[in-house]
Amino acid sequence: MSAQERSASDAGEAPGVPGRVRWGAVILYTVLACALAWLVCLPLWIGDGLVAPLAAVLLPAMMLTPMLAALVVTFALRTPAPGMRLRGLGLWPLRPAKRVVGMIVLGWLAPPVIVVLTVVVAVALGFVHPDWAFTAFAAELAAKVPPGTALPPTSVIVLAQVATIPLAAILNAVFAFGEELGWRGWLLPALRPLGTWPALLLSGAIWGFWHTPVILLGYNFGRMDATGVLLMIVGCVGWGVLFGWLRLRSGSVWPAVLAHGALNAAAGLVVLLGATQTDLALAGPLGVSGWIVCGLVIVVLALTRQFRAQPPLAPPRPRPVATPAPPASSASSSA
């Protein structure tokens, strides 16, 4: 490693990071992603909001808008440059394979654990009054089925929902890919010349602000004003640092994709336990309890210098060094 590369590593940056941010591309990407999100959500604003049946289609469609914005900027402004697009976006190749696969597994399994710890913190701080009999959840289920319909015991349904989180994480990752290709695939590497921490924090804040069209409709926190938007921004900064660490530590976008899918699959655990209406601004994984747990995990990663260990984005496969042939003998045979 050269002296310049050692200096970049000591500063928390990976070798080979470009020397400047292409702000025109970053601004175009951000404006385009947010504008497309508003466009997708426009029927909800004109109609009945999140209770409209169309919301079940439009909310997943909104998750694809960061990907569309990233593809437009990639091909229109040639960033990443042609020939480096798959590598620059973290799509391919998956090298070093052992590290990438390990980080994918970590991204798949760690977010549900963090969400469980969030529930523990919420209970400990009194944000949730636990209903271990799940009576509120049972009443909600009964209201959704025809009267007289026989249901399995509520505890069995709860256990089944918890047990299927790993599978649900993979299914959710299909739509999470649309977001992660934009936020951690394109935007985070584009901001890396600012340094690791500024890039992580700014990309997370933009990710949170992008949710504005649905947050102002009451999504997630039930706060239809700037308070809800600020709550989402802080929550996305916390989770964005963790997803961003997976991206930078592996050089691949796929660990962040699985982590995002796993978060979406596990996010409702606190609602199962709440005896009354749960305030997700306090108890949810994107609320205050989630901030505490994410903050503690980030501190542990920082203290163990995990943010300094950043390989180049999907480095090329090393080429074998040819062994020089031995010199021919100078002696000649006589007849």
Q: For residue 323, what pLDDT is reported?
A: 61
Residue 325 belongs to a domain: no
Q: For residue 242, what pLDDT is reported?
A: 98
Residue 316 belongs to a domain: no
In this predicted model, what pLDDT tens digit does every residue of 266-323 receive, in sequence order? Answer: 998 998 887 667 899 999 999 999 999 999 999 999 999 999 877 776 555 556 665 6
Residue 267 belongs to a domain: yes
Q: In which domain, by residue range, is 99 found?
A: 16-303
Residue 44 belongs to a domain: yes
Residue 331 belongs to a domain: no
Query: For the purposes of burial, counting CB atoms within 10 Å of the CB of 128, is it exposed (0-12), middle (13-18) or buried (19 or more)?
Result: buried
Residue 2 belongs to a domain: no
Q: CA 175 → CA 61, 228, 233, 237, 289, distances in Å?
A: 8, 23, 20, 20, 26
Q: For residue 320, what pLDDT is reported?
A: 60
Number of domains in the chain: 1
Tokens of 146: 């025809």
With a pLDDT cut of 90, the percent of the chain lying above it is 68
Other CB atoms closer than 10 Å to residue 201's CB: what's the count? 17
How far apart, in whole angstroms, are the C-alpha atoms of residue 184 and residue 93? Answer: 16
In this predicted model, what pLDDT tens digit does every residue of 125-179 receive, in sequence order? Answer: 999 988 888 887 887 777 777 887 778 888 888 898 899 999 999 999 999 999 9
Residue 319 belongs to a domain: no
**Is residue 183 predicted with pLDDT exceeding 80?**
yes
